[in-house]
Amino acid sequence: MAPPSPRRPGFSRRAQYSLFMGYVAAIVGALAGLLLIVTARFDPTGHAALQSFFTDIFSPVSSVARSVGAGIGSASEEVGAYFDAASKNRDMKRQLDAARRDLITGKNDALENRRLKRFVHLVERLPKGIVTARLVSSTGTSSRRYAILAAGSRDGVVNGQPVRTLDGLIGRIVQVGERSARVLLIIDGGNIVPVRRVPDGVPAIAYGLGDGRIDLRPLAAGTNPFKQGDVFVTSGTGGIYQPGIPVAIGIKHNREGTLARPLADPASFDFAIVEPEFVSPPPSPSVEGSKK
């Protein structure tokens, strides 16, 4: 015989009603959940405010946990480094030689650059980073790629600002709470960054794929000009991201686009810099306008 169950209340009116009300509450609540999802779609700001209220409450907990985790991570890295010290040493010597050669070329280029800028009276005013904070956690179970930053409106973080490390771009702020903010990583499937290839400035669009890689699509139709090893930086087109932040390096050439790896490894970054939103300068006045 099946065990007696409160789901089969028998003749008790009270039990019948309470069971019925339970079902009503469940269905009404599920509909309320659906309504909340609809608000997330049609009123993202309101929904984000609600979400950041809750994230705020719990961000100190994960902030502490993060620093402990970072300690453990670096310890295991150091143990690993001990074992392949010899081969690493050889590698580093080779890299050092290459870097020295590049440095000289770079210095030369910088000089040339300064000279050319003076020549065309171009002054670049790029604002400095404003907030430096820890990335404390991320949404590993969801199909979206968000990270939680341990700084919020109290520290001057504003919605829409780009977030980077010294290595490259991480993403942009999509939600700001009082003490925490949510960062949409560039590897998220919903994130699009306008980029250009480093030496020659061929423009492209970087789409996140959602699995840690980035898809780079050239703007020009036809064959894909990007190769493995090409480095891409933000182009600044359309604002938000300042030009010149490193984004990705190509790893696999396809016919339509190139798969790339983000230059700032999300798993290793700890401190992130929040920069002011970049506003692209208005088009320069025409020659006639400037004369009068």
Residues that bind other proteins (CB under 8 A): 2, 5-7, 22-23, 25-27, 29-37, 39-41, 44, 47, 50-51, 54-55, 58, 61-62, 65-70, 135-147, 187-190, 207, 209-212, 266-267, 269
Least gap, CB of 267 to other proteins (angstroms): 5
SS3 195: strand
C-beta of 19: minimal distance to other proteins in Å?
A: 8
Relative to beta strand 271-274, strand 231-234 is: unpaired
The answer to whether the beta carbons of residues 233 and 193 sit under 8 Å apart is no
287 near 190, Cβ under 8 Å? no
Closest approach, Cβ 27 to other proteins, in A, equals 8
Which is closer to other proteins, CB of 36 or CB of 279? 36
By beta-carbon proximity to other proteins, the closer residue of 53 and 244 is: 53
- Of 212 and 243, nearer to other proteins (C-beta) is 212
Q: What does the alpha-carbon distance between residue 62 and residue 151 come to, in Å, rounded to a whole number?
A: 13
C-alpha dihedral sign at 266, 42, 176, 148: negative
Question: What distance in Å separates the CA atoms of residue 277 and residue 239, rounded to the nearest whole number?
Answer: 7
To other proteins, the closest distance from the beta carbon of 187 in angstroms equals 6
- Our CB check for other proteins shows the closer of 193 and 197 to be 193
CB of 76 vs other proteins, minimal distance in Å: 14
In 105-165, which ranges are E strands?
A: 131-138, 146-149, 162-164
The rounded distance, in Å, linking the Cα atoms of 177 and 193 is 24
* Closest CB 161 distance from other proteins, rounded Å: 18
d(C-alpha 148, C-alpha 151), whole Å = 9
Question: Residue 63 or 234: which CB sits closer to other proteins?
Answer: 63
| Smallest distance, other proteins to C-beta of residue 5, A | 6
Shorter beta-carbon distance to other proteins: residue 26 or 220: 26
Provide Rg for the chain, Cα atoms: 26
CA 48, CA 26: separation in Å to the nearest integer? 25
Both tokens assigned to 222: 């036809």
Q: Which is nearer to other proteins, 68 or 287 (CB)?
A: 68
CA gap 230, 222 in Å, rounded: 18
